[in-house]
Structure 1
């Protein structure tokens, strides 16, 4: 008679033999089964073959299996098919399911109801659009493994606490979902604290993050601090740093030293602008670090072609760097109006190069005609560098004010902190295509 334990021992023997056969099969197709020793394997080799072939049909390779062999422990019917079906349901294209699994194979171990659904509901609760869920998860599939009450909630709560609008969290996630996985204490807060120490108010930082969430991914020690030090080394004044960063936040993440060196050399060689003048240009228009040199030269060549001496052109660019971003076609129209209709000397353009950055149809012409009708003779800055309301007040005055030094109104000229009225005015200009679009991009955070 067999002993009481005979069936148990026999069962163990069969399992052991089955495991050996399965491991031999995996070895024959190039899979190293070492990590599967503690894993519950299927009862026979046919089931394992089904798993391998199913995943291969998705696009996974032997190398992918060796990278994460634990995926072979997932039942096709109980794990893989339900998970893939849900992923497809929330917007991940069927043709990209294999890519998703390759990037985040741990998803195959997940419970759809207990783990995946709550994360998707959490994202929807943060105003991520339904049609964007698949896109977000393709960019950052690890989100499906996060605990809701952990890093994700903490990151969102901290950003809202510094002024980020809750309604902008959804768009931020769609643009750059990785910040949901960043620890506040070691990544986000140190970056915020450093930028605040440079003079940037948290309110401005919040607007920056809303528009460019990827800034949160800039490494503080490896990228941000070295770039700030680089700006200072090129002559940018410390008090100008907040304005430079607010105007062009990507400057914190660029390979800045190489770009500044190249542009500084170009400005000195081609435009005869010395390093100090170059620093003033960057302070007013930090986008210049990435502007193509051929683009810069077109407006310069136009001005030189009008007989303006090189040293005066250099002075104009230092005063108003936005000149180099104005399309030559617009410059021509304004220049010919200036010469033929206004009949003014070119030296006035040298004194007020911002003239070229204003709309001819919606600002220069109508204001000039108003001056003509009243017989007023004044400088370009006097009638252009002010709001519509202020211009009307000036027309009604009994004398022409003396222009004093101070912050520029900067309608279409110097970058600074333009009023809301002027931003709206710029958007309504007749010539608001490429040129005004660039202006709005420049002044927006």
Structure 2
């Protein structure tokens, strides 16, 4: 017993975790350090789990020390790599959610991946979701995921939008969804007269709305009221761009001040194109507005903003405005998930620490 505990201690497993460690996997006391434990530790290190993270993995999932290297551990990792999880990401995936090493491919992982595929999410997109949030594999397929998908349909999310909803907010598969949907739909109906059909469209565009706190919603609605919008325009704006309820209010105020004082446009322009608030003021709005002023161009907010920088530069070469050239408002693109994962900044959105999400 002592050699085992000494070995775990030298690895970095904290003594304060020993009681829980032994409660969950008491068999470790009868294991051989050389025959049973060291091979597993070497395997974890071979999966690119950093040495400092190995003890944290063991603390979180001590049962891993009892697995056969050629069994569940290797098959689960091989399957994930097979569907497109990048080999360089495996270490991070297992560090975040080592329980994957104990999951049966045929009983747990493969049915989960195939079900998401049936909803329209390609396996490579599922792989990207797993890279970022590996714990989604722990969501119970029959007890939680499928019932939650059924609930989304009952709350007017269209079947064709399910893939996008899940890809944008994978947590929606595993949370206690029914109570959130019921309370949020009722609250939005009372505060901005959102209809049940409106609520479905809002979820499709920003599924995180189900976890947005009442306090955050009220703060943003109050801001829109202060800007001069009445109930019906606010309803249209939120349906058109639900992110209005989650953006950083201080940044929204700066954007609105510029809109009124410098751009000198009517409020109806924001009702028509509420996504204005999602564009960077310094990086996009100001430089583009200055350019159209210099050229004497009169255009809609959508024509001004809803395109790439390259496309906008091309538009500035036109002799006249082609209204057919306006791109559709951007929506979540599943193809974006196919690309290798990169770190993204959400600086223009409310800080989660400020009671934004529940």
Distance 1:356 1:275 in 2: 25
Distance 1:203 1:95 in 2: 40
C-alpha displacement at 1:436, in angstroms? 8.6
Distance 1:437 1:184 in 2: 37
**Cα pair 1:285 1:415 within 8 Å, conserved:** no
What residue number does 2:349 align with? Answer: 435
Q: How does 1:329-340 map to 2 (within 5 A)?
A: 329-340=250-261
**Cα pair 1:327 1:435 within 8 Å, conserved:** yes
Q: How does 1:233-272 map to 2 (within 5 A)?
A: 233-272=154-193
Q: How does 1:266-281 map to 2 (within 5 A)?
A: 266-281=187-202
Distance 1:336 1:434 in 2: 16
Answer with 1 or 2: which has the greater Rg.
Answer: 1
Q: How does 1:18-417 map to 2 (within 5 A)?
A: 80-403=1-324, 407-408=328-329, 410=330, 414-416=331-333
How many pairs align? 349
Q: Deviations over 1:64-106 (max 9, x none)?
A: xxxxxxxxxxxxxxxx111011101111023333332233211
Distance 2:247 2:335 in 1: 18
Secondary structure of the 2:127 match is helix
**Cα pair 1:352 1:381 within 8 Å, conserved:** yes
Higher relative contact order (CA 8 A, sep 6+): 2
C-alpha displacement at 1:110, in angstroms? 0.2
Distance 2:164 2:336 in 1: 15
Q: Deviations over 1:380-415 (max 9, x none)?
A: 11111111110000001122121467642x3xxx54
Superposition TM-score, scaled by structure 2 size: 0.93
C-alpha displacement at 1:218, in angstroms? 0.8
Distance 2:334 2:73 in 1: 34
**Cα pair 1:382 1:403 within 8 Å, conserved:** no
Q: Deviations over 1:410-444 (max 9, x none)?
A: 3xxx54469799x99x85xxxx7353988xxxxxx
CA RMSD of aligned residues (A): 2.1
**Cα pair 1:151 1:181 within 8 Å, conserved:** yes
Distance 2:141 2:326 in 1: 37
1:185/1:106 CA distance change after superposition, 3 Å? same
**Cα pair 2:43 2:69 within 8 Å, conserved:** yes
Superposition TM-score, scaled by structure 1 size: 0.75
Secondary structure of the 1:254 match is coil
**Cα pair 1:284 1:416 within 8 Å, conserved:** no
Secondary structure of the 2:349 match is helix
**Cα pair 2:60 2:98 within 8 Å, conserved:** yes
**Cα pair 2:167 2:334 within 8 Å, conserved:** no
C-alpha displacement at 1:251, in angstroms? 0.4
**Cα pair 1:146 1:152 within 8 Å, conserved:** yes
Distance 2:307 2:351 in 1: 21
